[in-house]
Amino acid sequence: MLQESIVSTRPDREITKKIITPGDYSIVPYEESRCKIELSNVRHTNEDVNIDVESRILSKNFDGVVIIGEADSFIDKDLELILQQMCCGETCFARIVYKNQNCEIVKEISCEIELKEVTEEQLVSDWSWARLLEAAAHHKERGVALIQEKRVVDAFRRFSKAFKFLVAIEPVNPEEINDESLHEIKDLKVKLYNNLAHCQLQFCEYEAALELCNRAISLDNDNVKALYRRCTAYHCLKMYEDAWKDIQRVIILNPNDKAARTKAEPSEKLLEGKGLQIISPRPDHTFELDERSLAELLDSPDIRNRSVVLVAVAGAFRKGKSFLLDFFLRYLHHTYVLNSKDDNWLGPEDEPLQGFSWRGGSERNTTGLLLWSQPFKATLENGEKVAIFLMDTQGTFDSESTVRDNATVFALSTMISSVLIYNLSQNIEEDELQHLQLFTDYGRVALEKTEGKPFQHLQFLVRDWSVPYEYPYGLEGGMKLLEKRLEVHENQHEELKTLRREIRSFFSQLSCFLLPHPGMKVATSKEFNGKLTDIDEEFKKCLKELVPYLLAPHNLQPKVLSGQTLKAKELLYYIQAYMEVFNGTELPVPQTILEATAQANNLSAVSEAREVYECLMEEVPPREAGGGASPRAGQGPALLPTQEEDGRRRQVGDVPGTVASGHYELEEQFERLRAQNESKSLLNMFGTSAVLAALLVVGCVLSMLGDTLAFSILEVLGKTVALLSLGALVVWMYSRFTGHMREASEILDEFAMTLRTYCILPVILQIFPEYSSIDDKMTSYEIESIEDLIENVNNSQNDTSSDDEDEDELTPVLSNGEALSAVYDLRRYVASLDESEDAMQTLNYVENLLIANGTKSFCQTCYKIYHRREDYQPELPQITTKEIRDEKWIHVKLGRWLGVPIS
């Protein structure tokens, strides 16, 4: 009696066998055993029902060999199960019954099987890791082949089997398995997870697929297939945001994946952000705050209680600020949205750069202040939750903004940012430091009194740095350059020192980064759309250093105000408050850049004028040169402000801008007057030195003549004259170039002047009558007192009104240097006057003089300098009005300067 035994039972099928002839119990098939079999009496019920078209064993072509574990179709697999329960030499009757869901028999297959030969194999549990790995790889390959044949179920079985072999290797003993094999094992595991996930997706088992992908990603973060499949799973599970993150990651890792791109499109829209204009300029040069948008952004439930990290970029317009911010956006997406830790954040090679609006051309693009509408959420190492904001700003010094606009934008950016990037082109220049000082100072004034440093991290960013051999690109070179630029040393002018100290005192951290030029396409091509292929490698390399330096999780700096980190909702209030201050009237209008420039111009004009003055004073006749005083050591240049005075004046900052216009007037006048002065060169020949030299020559000639004529008196006289004039010349030159023995040189000047006026000039004018008019002017300056001056001014004004056309008559024959010197004389004079009526009267008269003279604006400036600077204490000798009246030089100079004809 044959006994039936159950080989395997499941609801959908049942396998039984009956032994007809027993075999050798010591030889049984194991995994990978090669079995030679013979099938007979094969019967199918319901022949029309085809359960498995793929069965090899039941096919006509079956060769009689079965290798255990190699079956793919499920009938073959069932037959394998039967073989695994047979012994070598055994013959059995096998029956497989297939049922439907209602447990009704659909089909029954029966046959007799004879197991003729079996190769002996080890039990799988005794296999070495190498054999297990080999088997896993083999089954994986078979599975892939089945996938290609679209036999997903069979493939799934192979992959599962392969996975079981891999799992059997564990626990992995690293001493036994080399690194390469370990890597191979991990790699195979990831592939199997992926393949299984693929099959599960085909079976619409999305959660199972998700789990398998998660496992693959846990082993390999950047596995594109796993990400892609997980994205599909998420998508099918309607988890769109997660799907979007994965597909973005796929695009970054595999930019050429067109399918991924197509897939990305619908979900990409879900996370679209934009530059949100929170502050816009109004036509009247005030700023409008979009409180609603700002509140929506900062007061949103998931953001409001997070600390703020705000990175802003400010600086001159058209210098690539917005362009740079768009790379920041890429980094932030990569790191805080996609949670990727690698450095492949620059994005696809051919993707246009998007985000904050940027463009080429020469016209300004960004106006007001913009925040990116999607703050990035991050958790700092200390567990603090932050929201990262990016801020784009209106460029300074475009042709439409006033200095106040610039200062407001810059100051606001400084006040609300935790990191302010000061975007510069090519270098850190002195004027850029001045602007920084001016603007941040403006912000500091607007801030309520804060303890310590008012602002946080100032990052200088030098674009298009072109001398990497001096300071290399990047942070290291930048820091060295910055140190150099902000260096304070002893010999530096006080003004430069103050500037540097102030900048250092405003910010708690200063750093600098040098970026190379991004390439000609970026800077000059109209078609350039930001794709990476058009950008120089060096630039990209530096971006990879710069951006993480500012935005990597461990480098994030939350905004701190008065020692407290600022929450997003608080930032909202602060911005509102600041805007009120900036749009209100309490703040002083910042000194205009024009003024600042004028101030600089003025100072350079002073030094220029000083040089010209010194130079030309040597050219003009002695009487004009201040009665023989040395221009180097005498009263001329000494009347100009000292450098210290200049420095002090700039510190209090009230040199009015109109000085610049005075400077230009002066230049014009200077050119005209110099031409005139040059025409006097013939007369200039007879300055003190020339007169003394002429006397020396005359003495020599006389002595020679006396000697020739044997006229000893003449010879002695000649020698005496020659010796005296030689001595006088030496003394005069000594005095002139050292400033010593001033009185001696004055006497010599007087002497030379007298000689020239009464002896030499009359002779010359006899010979050259055309010089007579110039000489008239030159000899006419002489004022004895203020009264004289006033009287003469009155005369002059009368003259002017009666003779409008003859303007030349009123033009002072003065050089630039002299005019400037006269102005300073006037300042000293005015500064010394007390408030007496006499003084006021004098001032009025002087003003009238200036009006009459046509150099009013220039001179008004001089008054303003004095009047507006209340805390300016010129270091003047204490002299009374009376003394001033007696100070002949003032009157002389005023008279000369004003061109007052004096008899």
Ligand X SMILES: Nc1nc2c(ncn2[C@@H]2O[C@H](COP(=O)(O)OP(=O)(O)OP(=O)(O)O)[C@@H](O)[C@H]2O)c(=O)[nH]1
Binding residues (CB under 6 A) for ligand X: these are 317-323, 358-360, 364-366, 395, 463-464, 515, 517-518, 522-523, 528
Vertex 296 angle, CA 294 and 297, to 5°: 65
248 binds Mg ion (CB under 5 A): no
423 binds Mg ion (CB under 5 A): no
Q: Which is nearer to Mg ion, 322 or 689 (CB)?
A: 322
Q: Which does 255 bind (CB under 5 to 8 A by kind): ligand X, Mg ion, none?
A: none
Q: How far is the C-alpha of 414 from the C-alpha of 401, rounded, in Å?
A: 18
Phi, psi of 555 (to 5 degrees): -110, 0
Q: Which is nearer to Mg ion, 340 or 366 (CB)?
A: 366
Q: Which does 627 bind (CB under 5 to 8 A by kind): Mg ion, ligand X, none?
A: none
Q: Which does 360 bind (CB under 5 to 8 A by kind): Mg ion, ligand X, none?
A: ligand X
**Which residues make Cβ contacts (< 8 Å) with residue 183, sequence separation at least 6?**
none
Q: At what angle are helices 742-755 and 688-709 packed, to 10 degrees?
A: 70
Q: Which does 826 bind (CB under 5 to 8 A by kind): Mg ion, ligand X, none?
A: none
Of 130, 51, 140, 62, nearest to 98 by C-alpha is: 51
Q: How far is the C-alpha of 69 from the C-alpha of 87, rounded, in Å?
A: 17
Q: Which is nearer to Mg ion, 321 or 663 (CB)?
A: 321
Side-chain-side CA neighbours of residue 714 (13 Å): 12
CB 355, min distance to Mg ion, A: 11
CB 308, min distance to Mg ion, A: 22
CB 208, min distance to ligand X, A: 48
Q: Which does 359 bind (CB under 5 to 8 A by kind): Mg ion, ligand X, none?
A: ligand X
CB 395, min distance to Mg ion, A: 6
Q: Which does 464 bind (CB under 5 to 8 A by kind): Mg ion, ligand X, none?
A: ligand X
CB 318, min distance to Mg ion, A: 8
Q: Which is nearer to ligand X, 538 or 838 (CB)?
A: 538
CB 417, min distance to ligand X, A: 16
Q: Which does 273 bind (CB under 5 to 8 A by kind): Mg ion, ligand X, none?
A: none
Per-residue b or e along 552-572, where b marks 16 or more CB atoms closer than 10 Å to that residue's CB: eeeebbbbebeeebbbbbbbb
Q: Which is nearer to ligand X, 4 or 363 (CB)?
A: 363
Residue 488 identity? V
3 state SS for 404-443:
HHHHHHHHHHHHHCCEEEEEEECCCCHHHHHHHHHHHHHH
Q: Which residue has the tokens 């195979």?
A: 188
Q: Which does 385 bind (CB under 5 to 8 A by kind): ligand X, Mg ion, none?
A: none
Of 452, 463, 369, 451, nearest to 410 by C-alpha is: 369
385 near 307, Cβ under 8 Å? Answer: yes
Q: Which residue has the tokens 């949103």?
A: 300
CB 317, min distance to Mg ion, A: 7
CB 519, min distance to ligand X, A: 9
Of 233, 235, 236, 230, nearest to 249 by C-alpha is: 230
Of 401, 432, 418, 264, nearest to 333 by C-alpha is: 264
Q: Which does 480 bind (CB under 5 to 8 A by kind): ligand X, Mg ion, none?
A: none
Interface pick for Mg ion out of 322, 591, 832, 855 (rule CB under 5 A): 322
Q: Which residue has the tokens 């204009």?
A: 277
CB 344, min distance to ligand X, A: 21
Binding positions for Mg ion, 872-891, rule CB under 5 A: none
- Residue ranges of alpha helices (H) inside 310-457 are 321-332, 403-416, 430-446
CB 555, min distance to ligand X, A: 22
Rg of the chain taking only CA atoms, in angstroms: 49
Residue 551 identity? L
CB 540, min distance to ligand X, A: 12
Q: Which residues pair with 93 in a beta bridge?
A: 18, 112
Q: How far is the C-alpha of 770 from the C-alpha of 778, rounded, in Å?
A: 14
Q: Which does 884 bind (CB under 5 to 8 A by kind): ligand X, Mg ion, none?
A: none
- Per-residue x/- track, 488-527, Mg ion (CB under 5 A): ----------------------------------------
CB 261, min distance to ligand X, A: 24
Q: Which does 523 bind (CB under 5 to 8 A by kind): Mg ion, ligand X, none?
A: ligand X
* Contact region with Mg ion (CB under 5 A), list: 361-369, 588-596, 799-807, 844-852: 361-369
394 binds Mg ion (CB under 5 A): no
Q: Which is nearer to ligand X, 515 or 620 (CB)?
A: 515
Q: Which is nearer to Mg ion, 392 or 654 (CB)?
A: 392
* Contact region with Mg ion (CB under 5 A), list: 317-325, 341-349, 483-491, 532-540: 317-325
Say what the alpha-carbon torsion angle 838, 844, 849, 853 is, to the nearest 10 degrees.
Answer: 160
Count the residues of the shown chain that bind Mg ion, applying the rule CB under 5 A.
Answer: 4
457 near 557, Cβ under 8 Å? Answer: yes
CB 380, min distance to Mg ion, A: 29
396 binds Mg ion (CB under 5 A): no
Interface pick for Mg ion out of 33, 195, 200, 365 (rule CB under 5 A): 365
CB 366, min distance to Mg ion, A: 3
Q: Which does 648 bind (CB under 5 to 8 A by kind): Mg ion, ligand X, none?
A: none
Q: Which does 163 bind (CB under 5 to 8 A by kind): Mg ion, ligand X, none?
A: none
**Which residues make Cβ contacts (< 8 Å) with residue 850, sequence separation at least 6?**
856, 859, 860, 898
Q: Which is nearer to Mg ion, 322 or 599 (CB)?
A: 322
13 membership: H or E segment, kind and range? strand 13-21
147 near 198, Cβ under 8 Å? Answer: yes
For residue 713, give Cα distances in angstroms to 124, 371, 717, 719. 144, 100, 6, 10
Q: Which is nearer to ligand X, 105 or 523 (CB)?
A: 523
Q: Which is nearer to Mg ion, 365 or 456 (CB)?
A: 365
CB 392, min distance to ligand X, A: 7
Q: Which does 33 bind (CB under 5 to 8 A by kind): ligand X, Mg ion, none?
A: none
Q: How far is the C-alpha of 746 from the C-alpha of 902, rounded, in Å?
A: 22
221 near 249, Cβ under 8 Å? Answer: no
**Which residues make Cβ contacts (< 8 Å) with residue 265, sequence separation at least 6?**
none
Q: Which is nearer to ligand X, 296 or 400 (CB)?
A: 400
- The dihedral built from the CA positions of residue 730, 732, 737 and 738, taken in this order, carries a sign that is positive
Q: Which is nearer to ligand X, 32 or 464 (CB)?
A: 464
Q: Which is nearer to Mg ion, 279 or 378 (CB)?
A: 279
Peptide bond into 171 cis (omega under 30): yes
Encoding tokens for residue 242?
A: 């997660």
- Exposed/middle/buried for 864, CB within 10 Å: 0-12, 13-18, 19+? middle
Q: Which is nearer to ligand X, 519 or 874 (CB)?
A: 519
Q: Which does 320 bind (CB under 5 to 8 A by kind): ligand X, Mg ion, none?
A: ligand X
Q: How far is the C-alpha of 326 from the C-alpha of 274, rounded, in Å?
A: 11
Q: Which is nearer to Mg ion, 393 or 418 (CB)?
A: 393
366 binds Mg ion (CB under 5 A): yes
Q: Which is nearer to Mg ion, 264 or 311 (CB)?
A: 311
Q: Which is nearer to Mg ion, 365 or 853 (CB)?
A: 365
CB 273, min distance to ligand X, A: 17
CB 364, min distance to Mg ion, A: 8
Residue 453 identity? K
Contact residues for Mg ion, defined by CB under 5 A: 321-322, 365-366
